[in-house]
Amino acid sequence: FVVAWSYVEHSDSAVSATMFKAIVEGFQSVEPLKIGELWALPSLLRFVLIENLRRIAVRVNRTRQMRQIANEVANRVLATDDNADRTRILSTYVAHAQDTTFATQLLYRLRDGSQNAGRAL
């Protein structure tokens, strides 16, 4: 399992037989693997690649959701002319502002240089 994780971690999930062979041989030079461990490597590599893909998909989905929320907030802020309403809208999303994706998208949408961007900051 450690061999498969190390390979995926160092190769950015790019599968190459020569690179995987080099990592296995490197591990074997320190601690020889048993025949069962060698036979398990292809299955473990598949498992680790799928797990890594799942983790990336979760991150991409969360980023997409944060951008969508930031766009909704920006639409609400830009739709009102009342400064008190703008401040109230922005103050309800203080927790979201901790996320850099949300903050970046919100500031991008409010980039007109008006007071909206200043209040959002």
Stretch 18-35: mean pLDDT, rounded? 92
pTM: predicted TM-score of the whole model, two decimal places: 0.71
Q: Which domain holds residue 87?
A: 62-120
Q: Are residues 27 and 68 in the same domain?
A: no
Same domain membership, residue 73 and residue 29: no
The average pLDDT across 85-100 equals: 89
Instruction: Return the closest-CA partner of residue 111 out of 70, 55, 82, 80.
Output: 70
- Answer yes or no: do 76 and 98 share one domain: yes
In tens, the pLDDT along 33-69 reads 999 999 999 999 999 999 999 999 999 999 999 999 9
Residues 31 and 68 reside in one and the same domain: no
Are residues 54 and 66 part of one domain? no
pLDDT band at 118 (very low <50, low <70, confident <90, very high): low
Q: How many beta carbons lie within 10 A of that of residue 63, not counting itself?
A: 15
Q: Which two tokens stand for residue 42?
A: 């292809």
How many domains does the chain divide into? 2
CA-to-CA separations, 2 to 28, 47, 56, 99, in angstroms, rounded: 13, 12, 19, 32
Domain co-membership, 53 together with 97: no
